[in-house]
Chains A and B, each alone.
Chain A
């Protein structure tokens, strides 16, 4: 069942906040290593996306949201999508910005 816009907005916004937090920390670590946080390798980008998704799923579990989401007809795949989509969009946006700069 497709989640209504209110549910989608709430969870996509949370996914975006989590990705942003992971990206800031990751960027700081990369900059500390003397590399540009804007030009990440594919592997590093996937690592950030995976970390964001893992944190998002842990957060849902921590908040005991399975009962609410499943009663809303939201499947586990959709739950994963709520965390994957903002992270991927964020990384693609940064890649595009970095491409424009160089």
Chain B
């Protein structure tokens, strides 16, 4: 299937330090793709560029067969992209319900109460994000994904800091979205969880990316095992 979103040969430097020299990313409908990479390898930068959150020094972003030399998140969001950053998604200024309702009305999304019930947050919907625990905030973000029903989801470290039960919920939601035809790309370091959920692995290292294919092929890749997986690679 053709990719819905492509970040092609993008490069990015910050204050003279090159983070990405030629990174590429594809989000394919019906697939859950995982972008692995060591800290500082550039995977968050690549995801941010693909989402239009930051602009690349070179390279382009294509969404739904339209090329953007200057991709911006509001434009891509209008066309069906949802970007979950590695920090909080929600504003501290409104209740979770108000913000989910904003998303629902803006995109004719799914019912807020139903999404909250799925993630077990029905009782705290009227609280502000600051009054929720870290895990509850992450679950509220899962509810936002459910309400939004995007065509493409880019999630930066969605499993970070999640309890096992919440990680299971997140995995279920991401797999469910992919099985409904959404293009999903996530980053993270939770190797067993992500490998179990992934359809495809991309490895970001030394400023570039390698398409390793399905998890089975990825774990058989010698360099990936040696440089990234470490002890996880020996057991898989």
Q: Which residues of A contact B (CB under 8 A)?
A: 1, 3-7, 10, 14, 59, 63-65, 67-75
Contacts and interface: CB of A to CB of B under 8 A. Distances in A.
B73 A70 contact: yes
B77 A71 contact: yes
19 contacts: A1-B74, A4-B105, A4-B106, A6-B98, A10-B102, A64-B87, A64-B88, A67-B83, A67-B88, A67-B89, A68-B102, A70-B74, A71-B77, A71-B148, A72-B102, A73-B75, A73-B78, A74-B74, A75-B74
B106 A68 contact: no
Contacts of A59: 93
Listed from nearest, the 7 A-B pairs whose CB atoms lie closest are A70-B73, A1-B78, A65-B91, A73-B78, A4-B105, A73-B77, A63-B93
A71 B82 contact: yes
B124 interface: no
Interface string B85-111: 101111111100011011101100000
B94 A10 contact: yes
B216 to A, nearest CB: 34
Contacts of A14: 93
B98 A67 contact: no
Contacts of B89: 67-68, 71
A65 B98 CA distance: 14
B102 A65 contact: no
B102 A4 contact: yes
- The interface centre, meaning the residue of A3, A70, A75 with most chain B CB atoms within 10 A of its CB, is A70
Interface of B: 52-53, 72-75, 77-78, 82-83, 85, 87-94, 98-99, 101-103, 105-106, 148
A80 to B, nearest CB: 13
Given A1-B74, A70-B53, A63 B106 contact: no
A95 to B, nearest CB: 30
Nearest to B85: A67
- The interface centre, meaning the residue of B53, B74, B92 with most chain A CB atoms within 10 A of its CB, is B74
Nearest to A74: B74
B82 A64 contact: no
B103 to A, nearest CB: 7
A93 B111 CA distance: 40
A12 B72 CA distance: 23
Contacts of A7: 102, 105-106
A73 B91 contact: no
Given A64-B92, A73-B78, A75-B72, A10 B87 contact: no
Given A67-B85, A68-B99, A6 B74 contact: no
A14 B74 CA distance: 21
A68 B77 contact: no
Contacts of B105: 4-7
A39 to B, nearest CB: 34
A10 B102 CA distance: 10
A49 B24 CA distance: 44
